[in-house]
């Protein structure tokens, strides 16, 4: 039971992977309202789709991939996450091909986490509680309440950034003061420094390809993403 609860929490964090300080009165009210109006329908739709189509998603990886594309990938900035994982300076020195390869591998890895965790979905609903915007107006946090029928309610924080196009995207998630990037960056940087960027990309790609090959074979799905 304890293992199931921990996996359920991990799955919820992965889904919300959609650094700033705490929520303050100094945040721009207008910008906060704008961000809230953008993200609230996303969380509502995510919760409704999961609760309605859970059985279908567990049997049809193509349908679940479509869900991920609409409710998670479209609102996540994988490039910023990849940069944070290996460090901004390390990311900047990569050539265009290496950057593209790493971002694609990180994006596929996050998708794999979502697929791995679907088994532990337990009816969680996600509600946007508050929004914080940095003084620069470029970064912020979404405070999200995860309501679950099997475990106590939990608060999660999602780091967001404003892109050059003015669109807010998620880049990291924090649970009990610890972010996803903080947990994974040491592993990523160790491979990068010892073996190079291509070795890091290859390591992630092999894990992702092996996982999806097994998943799609079991579901008898081939030819469509992620199969």
pLDDT tens, residue by residue, 109-131: 999 999 998 888 888 899 999 99
Q: What's the pLDDT tens digit per position in 139-182? A: 999 999 999 888 888 899 999 999 999 999 999 999 988 999 99
Q: Which tens digit of pLDDT belongs to each residue from 50-78?
A: 999 999 999 999 999 999 999 999 999 99
Q: What is the pLDDT of residues 176-205, one digit of tens each?
A: 889 999 999 999 999 999 999 999 999 999
| Residue 78 domain-assigned (yes or no) | yes
Domain assignment present for residue 227? The answer is no
**Residue 225: pLDDT above 90?**
no
Cβ atoms of 131 and 141 within 8 Å: the answer is yes
Q: Which residues, including other chains, have CB under 8 Å from residue 116's CB and lie 6 or more apart?
A: 211
User: Is 133 within a domain?
Assistant: yes
State the residue range of the domain holding 103: 2-218
Residue 226, in any domain of the structure: no
CATH code for the domain in which residue 187 is found: 3.10.450.710
Tally the domains of the chain: 1
Q: How many helices (H) and strands (E) does the chain have?
A: 8, 5
Closest CA to 46 of 83, 87, 74: 74
Residue 223 lies in a domain: no
Q: Helices 96-117 and 197-218, interaxial angle, to 10°?
A: 40
50 burial type by CB count under 10 A (0-12 exposed, 13-18 middle, 19+ buried): buried
Name, in order, each residue with C-beta under 8 angstroms of 169's C-beta and a sequence gap of 6 or more: 18, 75, 76, 77, 80, 160, 161, 163
């Amino acid at each position: 039971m304890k293992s199931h609860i921990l996996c359920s929490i991990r799955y919820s964090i992965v889904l919300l992977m959609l650094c700033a300080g705490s929520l303050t009165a100094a945040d721009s009210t207008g910008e906060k309202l704008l961000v809230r109006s953008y993200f609230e329908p996303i969380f509502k739709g995510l919760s409704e789709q999961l609760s309605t189509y859970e059985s279908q998603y567990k049997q049809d990886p193509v349908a679940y991939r479509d869900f991920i594309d609409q409710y998670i990938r479209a609102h996540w900035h994988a490039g910023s996450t990849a940069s944070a994982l290996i460090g901004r300076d390390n990311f900047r020195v990569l050539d265009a091909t290496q950057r593209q390869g790493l971002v694609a591998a990180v994006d596929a890895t996050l998708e794999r986490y979502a697929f791995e965790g679907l088994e532990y979905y337990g009816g969680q609903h996600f509600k946007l509680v508050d929004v914080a915007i940095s003084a620069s107006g470029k970064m912020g946090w979404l405070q999200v309440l995860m309501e679950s029928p099997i475990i106590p309610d939990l608060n999660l924080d999602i780091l967001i950034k404003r892109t050059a196009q003015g669109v807010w995207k998620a880049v990291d998630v924090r649970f009990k003061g610890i972010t996803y990037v903080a947990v994974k960056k040491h592993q990523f940087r160790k491979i990068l420094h010892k073996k190079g960027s291509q070795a890091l990309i290859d390591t992630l790609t092999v894990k992702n390809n092996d996982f999806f090959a097994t998943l799609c074979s079991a579901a008898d799905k081939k030819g469509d993403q992620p199969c």
